[in-house]
Amino acid sequence: MSLEGKIAIVTGGSRGIGAAIADGLGEAGAIVIGTATSESGAAAISERFASKNIQGMGQPLNVTDADSVAALMSVVSEKYGAPQILVNNAGITNDNLLMRMSDEEWFDVINTNLSAVYRLSKACLRGMMKARWGRIVNISSVVGQMGNAGQSNYAATKAGVMGFARSLAKEVGSRNITVNSVAPGFIDTDMTKVLSEDQKTMMLSAIPLARLGQPEEIASVVKFLCSDDAAYITGETLHVNGGMYM
């Protein structure tokens, strides 16, 4: 699954699933731009890449800020050229029962997890269309499929990116651009570290494979979707959840 020389942007590449995806694409030969929310986080990504002989760099990005996206796009195109792979991985949770949810809690999650996917995809598409080759992969969630009390905002975004991918796939398929989603179950990252022991025990009892997933187990599926081996898969969601939701 060589991605030799492909230019890839991975949002939220500083830690967790995004770091594993950035490293996985880089180890397959892609030139990776991994984004972090701060300059120091971006510098740490550049150092990590250098230590692993991965081509590319870290760049600061706030996915909710149109100017920040524009700045990223201009740095990437100047230094490497138009991105051919976009992995929309950055995401947050801000949980509350709907009746207690503030507008801020709702829109923070919508802006970060859903509107940013619109903005970044649009920014990358022109170059992909010109090149007649492109891969967009959105990181969704099992919660987008199953729902979860206290996560109506998060679930709406994660179901949203699946529908977005299905629709965009129909718009750009004729240009040889695929748009897919990967829906992880519960993965061992900072996002799940905040769960209580009780919540973890309950979750594990619902996972047939009886363990949390590892970030690398999501990264390998993203790498597959970006490769030529997956050239005929588009508009699809691949569920990587230990058998959880069935």
Q: Which of 61, 162, 222, 226 binds ligand NAD (CB under 6 A)?
A: 61
Q: How far apart are CA 7 and CA 216, in angstroms?
A: 20
Residue 182 touches ligand NAD, criterion: CB under 6 A: no
Task: List binders of ligand NAD among 81-140 (CB under 6 A).
Answer: 89-92, 112, 139
Q: Is residue 17 within the footprint of ligand NAD (CB under 6 A)?
A: yes
Interface size with ligand NAD, residues (CB under 6 A): 28
The mark string for 193-232 relative to ligand NAD (x by CB under 6 A, - otherwise) is ----------------------------------------
24 binds ligand NAD (CB under 6 A): no
User: Contacting ligand NAD (CB under 6 A), which of 59, 84, 141, 145?
Assistant: 141
Q: Is 245 a catalytic residue?
A: no
CA pair distance 129, 87, nearest whole angstrom = 17
Asked if 234 is part of the footprint of ligand NAD (rule: CB under 6 A), the reply reads no
Q: Of 80, 154, 232, 245, which residue is the catalytic one?
A: 154
Q: Which of 10, 30, 64, 168 binds ligand NAD (CB under 6 A)?
A: 64
Footprint of ligand NAD on this chain (CB under 6 A)?
11-12, 14-18, 35-37, 61-64, 89-92, 112, 139, 141, 184, 186-187, 189-192
